[in-house]
Every structure is written in C-alpha cells, then in structure tokens.
A and B are shown apart, each in its own frame.
Chain A
Amino acid sequence: MNKIFEKGGKFYWLHSTIDAFESFLHVPGTVTRKGAHVRDAIDLKRLLILVVIAAAPAALFGMWNVGYQHGLAVGDLRLNILGNFWYGFLRVLPLYLVSYIVGLGIEFASSQIRGEEVSEGYLVSGFFIPLIVPVDIPLWMLAVAVAFAVIFGKEVFGGTGMNIVNPAILARAFLFFSYPNYMSGSECWIHFKSGEQLVDGFTGATPLSLEGASAQYGTGFWDLFIGTVPGSVGETSVIAILLGAVILLWTGIASWKIMAGGVLGALFVGGIGDLAGISQIPCFMQLLYGGFAFGIVFMATDPVTSAQTECGKWIYGFLIGALCIMVRLFNPGYAEGMMLAILLCNVFAPLIDHCVISVHLSRKSRKPKTA
C-alpha cells in the first residue's frame, strides 16, 4: 500500500477503503506472526462469496419472475424468457444499487472509524436484502432500512461477527413495521407502471394471503415449487432455493441441522393445524409458501446469529419452523411468520446455547472417573 494511506499519511482516512479494494484484488502478502505458521487457504471472502453464489439461482429466477408476473398482470405474455428476465433485471438492479451503495458506504466508514479492515459480511447481507423485499418498494425506503439495519443491527455491536440479529432480516422487519402499506396486501408484489391497464379480476396478492382462493394463476404444488407466483423478489422459487441449499450444505457453510430442524418444526405445527382443522392446507405445502424456504436456507443458517452448539442448532431450527407456521395459522394480522420467527430465534439463540452448554458441562462433571 502506498505510504500516504498508512497511519500518519495524508490519506489515512481512506485506509480501510484502499485496503478493502487491494485485498479484493489479491490475497495480501501478510505472513503469520503468532501461533500456527501455516494456515488454511480459506478466508471469509471465499466463504461469503459462496453464499452469494448459492443465492444466485434464486436471484436470477426472481428477476425473471418479476417480468413474468408483470406480464400476467397486464395480460401481455408476448415476452420470452430473456425478455421477462431483462424486464425484471432492470427493476431489481436499482434495489441492488441502493442496497450496496448505502450498506457498503456505512460499512467502509465504520471500519475506518474502528481502524479495522473492511469485513466482507455485507457482501452477503446486501445480496439478500433486495431478494426479500417487494420489487416495488420505494428506493428511499430501502435506503433507510439498509442504513438502520447496518448501523443498529451490526455496527453498534462491533461489526460483522458481533451482531445479534441477521441484518438482512432486520432491514425487512424495519420496512414491515415502518411502512406496512408497502410491505403487505395485494399491491406491492408485482411491478406496475402507472397507467397500465390490469387484467379484469386480477389480484397481486401472494398465495399465502389468498390461501389458495380464486387467483388467476395456479397455487398448486408445482407453481409454488417452481415459483411462478407473486412474492418478494427471491423467495418464490423453492427449486432455485434448494439449488442454493445444496451448495451451502456441501461446503458446510450452512448447518443441515438447522434446516432439518426447521422443516421438522414446520411440519409438526402444520400437522397439528391439519389435525385440529385450523388449517386447510396440507402441512407439507406450508414449506413451499411464502418466505419459509428462503428463510430456513439462507437466513436461519447465518453462522453468526444462529445457535452455535450442535444440539442447539436442532432446537433453534425447530423453533423457527414451528414459530413460523404458528404465526401463519394463529395470527390473523400477519400472513407470513418467517421473518418474525427468525428474528425471535436470533435473539434467543445465545440462550439456547447457554442451556445446551450448561447441561453438557454438568453432565461432564458428573461423569465417573475412568481410571
């Protein structure tokens, strides 16, 4: 690095930024000073770029779906796959620009204030945030939400790795509670230009709030599985999300225990709902609706905010699944419960770990001596 960016130099205030770009270009020539003289080639950049790659199918599908849903809504199905994708891409691109410019801007500034290197954490959060909001969200709202999430969700705790709740989920929760009109109902999920003529009887509500009622598109198993339904940008296609899940599980970045626990929890509560006659939907369909799949694969498995212990991961995953379906079935106000379930369990994850570790340690201390 040039001398002027080092401590005492004229441009020291740009130190973290320059360092971030430099280490983005090449692995720095830093050598080990203490402890192990050789180190694994893995670093956070590599781990986190894999999460982005894993979420890419959902993002690409989401862009296509934005175009496709718009076509359905205005009764214009002339566009082909590429046309739909391009239409959606142009709608989603501003969301990405806002998310990354605002989020990374704050991240760079606070790294500089702390005198640390810029952490890669926001690469992932910034990629997720546009995927879990409605495509028509006003950009200024998104900017406010991102700023709130990064500052109060992460930086006040000390940056990536120190946060208690998932910043992406926090951004969504902020939007949900601050601007509910833009985050729920039947208006926001599909992109319209002003003055466009809608098809008669059209509703832009997501299948979750319709519960399979009269809609102009199918809400059958395959529609939901493939994802040709309205919803937040990246959450609709279960198959694209499953592709991401395979990558995350193979590389071991996400915990299969959390995912499995979540599915079990959802089926458990959904099953009770079915048996008790509360819900009309078969419990396995709950896994396809709304943000469940995206949440349990990408959000719940965030290694920083999830439970740390192996046993705790089962409990944590199960609770998320169970709470999500519970909100869906028993709370008439909220059609979707995934976001709230994950937020709540993020907060409780340290408690879950504390209990698991306490039980483990007290059992260990009671173990009879072997020799």
Chain B
Amino acid sequence: MSQTFVLKRGLNIPLAGEAELRVSKTIVPGVVAVRPTDFKGFLPRLLVKEGDPVLCGSPVMADKKNADILLASPVSGTVKAIVRGEKRKLLAVLIEADDRQQCVDFGVRDASALDDGQVRQALLQSGLWPFLVQRPYGIVADPDIRPRDIFISTFNTAPLAPDSHLCFDGELKAAQAGLDALSKLTDGCIHLGLDARDTDAPFAGVHGARLHRFSGKHPAGNVGVQISHIDPIRKGDSVWTVSPAGLVAIGKLFTTGRYDVRRKVAVTGPMAIEPAYIDTLPGMPMTEIAGFCGNTPSEKLRVISGDALSGSSVGADGYLGFFDSQITLLCEGTDKELLGWIRPFRFNQFSTDRSYFSWLLPKKKYAMDTNLHGGPRAFLMNDGYYAKVLPMDIYPVYLAKACLAGEIEKMEKYGIYEVLPEDLATCEFVDPSKNDIQHMIEQGIELMLKEMA
C-alpha cells in the first residue's frame, strides 16, 4: 500500500539538452579522483602516499573524528598524486588505474541474515558508509547513532535529471539487498519516494519499505521535500538519506562482495553535443567527456557536476562528484544584452514571471546560459513569491534572512533542520533580487554545525 502526495507548488525548468535514452559509451577512466570535499562534515586523514598500490575498495582516507569512516578507491592501481590546496587542505587523491582491475573481496553475504553490527561493520569497512547522509545538515552519517528513519527518493526532478528507468532497471535485486541491510540500522522505517506518474517505477517491487508516491514539479523528487511531507524532521531528530545509486551500491556489496560504484551518468545541457548517457565511475576526470563539449573554448563553457540548479562548477579539468549522476554543460553568459529588461518580448529567455511571455510557450525548451540577468539587490518580493515554487511548509525568505543574520533561534523556528540548500534552489532561480539563497542556507547550516557541536 502506498500513499500519494500531490505537490502543487514547484517549478520545472525547461532547460534544453536532455540526454537521449541510450548509453553512448562506457568510460574506464585512466585516472580517478577521490575527493573528501564531496562529503560534508568529513575531515580527511590520508591513509596512502604517492606510489602506493591500491585495489578497488581499498581505503584511501579516514575521517579524523571517527576513524571507522573510510573513503575507498573506486579502481585498482597506484596513487599518482595527492592534490592539496590553500593551507595544505587536502583536495583530492588521484589514482592511476591499472589494466587488471582487482577488487578487495568483502565476501558475498545475505544481508537479511546479518545483525546491525555486522551491517555497520561491512559498510564502514568497504568505504560505502559515506553514501549515508544524515539530516539535519546533510553530513556524513554518524555510525554511533540509530536514525529515526531512512529516506530514499528513487526519482529526480531536477532540470535534465537522469531517467530512473535507464539507470536502475534491472537493479531490483541489488536494491532489495541494500534495503535489507539498511533496515538493520534503524528502529523506524525505510521510506521510499516513488514517482506517482511512473506506474512501474524501478523500485516499486521491493518489500520491507514504505512506499510513498509523489507527483509534482521540481523539487518534488528531492528527498528533503519528501521527508517534510512524510514525517518532518523536528528538533532532536536525526534521519538518514541514501541516493538510489548508493542503495544499489550497498546492495551489490552484499550480493557480489565488491565495492562497485559504477553508474550511468547523464551528460546533458544546451552545450552538450548529442547528449546521452555514459557508464562511468565517480571521480572521473571531465576530460574524458571532451567529445560532448565540441570545440567550445573553455572560458565559454561551464562544466557542472550535478544539475544546473544545485550542481557544482568543476571546470573542464575537474572531476565527477561522488553523489552525482549527471553532468550539465552550460554556456557562460558573459554577453551583455542590449536593453534586455525593457524589451517587451524576449522569446529566448525563460521566465516564470508573467511580465515575460514564456507562459505562452509551455513546451519550449530554452538554451539557458549562466547569466545572472540582473544585479544583486535586497529581498524585495514577499515570501509568497518564493513559496509558490517550494512545496514545503516553511517560509523561505524568513529562513534565508535568519541565516543571513545568523540568528540560531530564528533559523530553528523557520525550519533549518528540514532543508538542505538544494531544496531552496527553485526559490533562488526565480528570485528577481538575484540573492544566492542556497549559499545563505549553506552558511546557516555551517553556523548550526559550529554552534551545536
């Protein structure tokens, strides 16, 4: 039995460059990066040095606060370089892959027959533990607690998001094994958010989880939005979330005994040539997808690991993020548009506002660029203007202002526990004052982490 939630508020951004539903190539990256910066709240301690041999699944870094939490290498090979930034901050460990691709064998086990300690041990040892994200704040899950519930959103509504059928059809067995394992870690439930419009959603056949169906525009597929409708996070609660790719990887650890994070990644965006899917590993260098970028000069191209709203700009020489199943290629919008704002019609620009005429062309896809389309101003429009693209029971502008002011009590009151920056991405998109709302929320979360520690 499942419950259906119809979310009325939200916004689907009609970005051009949807990936064709085929895997155009399988990429075996020559070098992969393991980056501690992908994991919030993870303080890296190196376990390898340059020249060390590693196997697929060997630990590369551990968390300074909890030495059991490991990051593993997704390939076998040798450590090629250790990349540090300012103040010797560890940015990445680059691993050169060899041809043999040997894996650490963690042993095939029946997850449903294990107890919670064994499951926890297996996830920590294998380096798959960081797939578990703890809310509030979106940090790497704390192995010493038992979360209230575990939430998994099986679909993605972000602009040009990868298709869940193409990515996860045929992974039901692994997903089931993953659910069996995760169910040992919580006393509550595992909640699965499914796309209500998709009658045979990839994970609909699992058992041992509560299914909830969601229909609505972005961010209906965000796990944070789903949590707030299923059972909101209150002060003192801790819940964990896992991405569907993480669930499958966890399942495969038990069904195959291997650290296997290989996934299908959608290469999308208006600048992508013949956008399609690739089969690759997280940490893949973006140079591997140069074929999708064509001859665009690098200063005109923005390479985003993730979606166009919440992904991170990594540059043409960056790496695919650990959690990302999508790459978006956008044009840098450095061109000045003459009399742009005063023109009655701007048919090539998308706007949700009725003062433009995008509403006349509901089917049109727009080749958006990264132009800000205006100058930064103080918040002028009122809360309702933003709330209509946010299907959560919070006050987005009040929350953002509380974060700006750094007032902890108000942040708590307005719902900082319920959100991650990505949940307010649509608000940021529509903001005529061009505030960086996601950044404000992030600053608020940083402050909470510091003050509440």
- List residues of chain A with CB under 8 Å of any chain B CB: 19, 23, 25-47, 49-50, 117, 119-121, 158-162, 250-253, 255, 303-304, 306-310, 313, 357, 361, 364-365, 369-371
Contacts and interface: CB of A to CB of B under 8 A. Distances in A.
A84 B334 CA distance: 49
A47 B308 CA distance: 25
B146 interface: no
30 contacts: A27-B336, A29-B334, A29-B371, A31-B371, A35-B310, A35-B428, A36-B308, A36-B309, A38-B368, A39-B372, A39-B434, A40-B352, A40-B432, A42-B374, A43-B341, A43-B373, A43-B434, A46-B342, A47-B380, A119-B377, A158-B378, A160-B378, A162-B378, A304-B380, A306-B382, A307-B382, A309-B395, A310-B387, A357-B398, A369-B231
B350 interface: yes
Contacts of B332: 31
Contact of A29 (B328, B333, B341): B333
Contacts of A365: 234
B211 to A, nearest CB: 12
Given A38-B13, A364-B393, A46 B382 contact: no
B102 interface: no
Nearest to A358: B413
B372 A37 contact: no
Interface SS of B by simple majority? loop
B253 interface: no
Nearest to B393: A364
Nearest to A305: B382
Nearest to B302: A37
Nearest to B348: A41
Interface residues of B, number: 78
A36 B425 contact: yes
Interface in B416-452: 421, 425, 428-434, 436-439
A27 B328 contact: no
B310 A36 contact: yes
3 residue pairs, one from A and one from B, having the closest CB atoms: A43-B374, A161-B378, A27-B340
Given A29-B336, A31-B370, A42 B378 contact: no
Contacts of B393: 364
A89 B340 CA distance: 30
A32 B341 contact: no
A30 B438 contact: no
B373 A42 contact: yes
A251 B355 contact: yes
Contact of B341 (A30, A49, A308, A371): A49
B110 to A, nearest CB: 28
Given A26-B338, A36-B308, A371-B210, A44 B380 contact: yes
A160 B163 CA distance: 44
Given A29-B336, A162-B378, A36 B428 contact: yes
Interface SS of A by simple majority? loop
Contacts of B15: 38
B217 to A, nearest CB: 15
A42 B351 contact: yes
B335 interface: yes
B364 interface: no
Given A29-B371, A309-B383, A369-B231, A38 B330 contact: yes
Given A38-B309, A117-B375, A49 B380 contact: no
Contacts of A19: 375
B337 interface: yes
Best-surrounded residue of A46, A160, A313, A364 (most CB of chain B within 10 A): A46
Contacts of B387: 310
Contacts of B434: 39, 43
B352 A31 contact: no
A30 B371 contact: yes
Given A35-B309, A308-B383, 20 more contacts: A19-B375, A23-B375, A27-B371, A27-B373, A29-B371, A31-B333, A31-B369, A31-B370, A35-B310, A36-B308, A42-B430, A43-B434, A44-B377, A119-B377, A121-B380, A160-B378, A160-B380, A253-B355, A308-B382, A309-B383
Best-surrounded residue of A32, A49, A303, A371 (most CB of chain B within 10 A): A32
B429 A41 contact: no
A357 B387 CA distance: 14
A28 B336 contact: yes
Contact of A49 (B149, B342, B349): B342
A301 to B, nearest CB: 10
A252 B413 CA distance: 28
Contacts of A309: 383-384, 395
B52 interface: no
Contacts of A46: 341-342, 353, 355-356, 432
Contact of A27 (B191, B341, B398): B341
B377 A161 contact: yes
B27 interface: no
A16 B332 CA distance: 25
B51 interface: no
Contacts of B377: 44, 117, 119-120, 160-161
Contacts of A38: 13, 15, 159, 308-309, 330, 368-370, 429
Best-surrounded residue of B191, B335, B429 (most CB of chain A within 10 A): B429
Best-surrounded residue of B210, B338, B340, B373 (most CB of chain A within 10 A): B373
A357 B336 contact: no
B306 to A, nearest CB: 9
Interface in B384-401: 384-385, 387, 393, 395, 397-398
A357 B395 CA distance: 9
B384 A255 contact: yes
Given A35-B437, A37-B330, A25 B339 contact: yes
Contact of B356 (A42, A160, A161, A304): A42
B385 A371 contact: no
A335 B151 CA distance: 62
Nearest to B235: A365
Interface in B308-362: 308-311, 313, 328, 330, 332-342, 346, 349-356
A120 B309 CA distance: 27
Contact of B350 (A36, A41, A50): A41
A364 B393 CA distance: 9
Nearest to B427: A36
